[in-house]
Structure 1
Amino acid sequence: MGEVVNAIVAVAVIVFIFRWATSGSSSSSSDGRSATAALGFRPKNVTQEMVDQIHVMFPDIPPDNIRFDLLRTGSVELTSNKILERGFLDAPPPAYFTLYPRTEASAGPRQPNTTSATSTAHQPSLIARYNLHNMVADSSSTETEAGGKAKWEDTAEKREASLRERKAQMILAARQRMLTQQQGSLSASGSGSS
């Protein structure tokens, strides 16, 4: 009788250990298995930088299409080559959106890249970059004209100075147009609200 009880206890312990071991491993790998089953392939690791890198090169391709192809290939080069060869990327299946829900930026209208938006926020303005503060005061009283035909200078230094002057004129003219546009839109909104 003692041997039967020992055998039953041993079987119960073995079943308990087996269930415990398999339940732990299945929960850790269930994400990988469900992604593989839903997508039809084993997804590669994809970072947001990889998606952004391709989206900067091909802004007309939706980010979800880029991520889906990167999950398949795992390579920025292969995905870029596919876009160059075909001109488009396949849209992801509906199962993709259950695993990778759309974000506000990819679901709505195109938003500027956040990394480039933050980097441009810290960059100085063109007036500061080209040190045109003294010319801004002069241009506010007179209308600046950008462009025109430049004459070919004899030396490289003169050509460089001429180019700098033309850049300054173009920047100031663009600034003047922007200020005029802003004043026009303010006056239009002011007259519309009264």
Structure 2
Amino acid sequence: MAEVVNVLVAFAVIVILFRWVTSSKESSSERSAVSTLGFRPRNVTEQMVDTVQGMFPDMPRDNIRYELLRTGNVDQTANKILERGYLDAPPQAYYTLYPRTQQPPPARPAPAPTGNSTATKLKSDSLIKRFHLEDKVNESTPVSEEEVAGKAVWEDTPEKREASLQERKAKMILAARQRMLAQQKKAGPSTQS
């Protein structure tokens, strides 16, 4: 019986030593990450974050990185976004280990320089140019509101329907331009008084 007790004590000592030796192999930073985050973070590369960010550009990078630290898998992270529509924000402890990432603002193309000084005129000119209505603007034939508001006739062929749609768009743009110019004329004398 004494031999059994000695074997059990020796076995317990060996188990304790083995756990102590294997736990000391973890680095202190890894232990602090585990204790701070509450889970063992997986290895996450910038390429993994960029992949998810490419699929979901409106998702914050820190949310993506935090979820990837938890799952370690791009597919699971993407599925979670698709299922829930969002990712949880990381806790404050996350930012002690991983400082906030600065996202560059989305690049916006600079507006083309024109001779127009007002923004509304710039927008209307760009629509006129986009739909190639410069010749119709110069004609000075007013577009009636009934023409714009009326229902379209269903044409027989797709080509005719496309042409009808383009004509309706042109009429709507020209009518909106006429209303804008009329409002500017009304506002002009009242500001001068």
Larger Rg: 2
- TM-score, L = length of structure 2: 0.49
- Structure with the higher fraction of residues in helix conformation: 1
TM-score by length of 1: 0.48
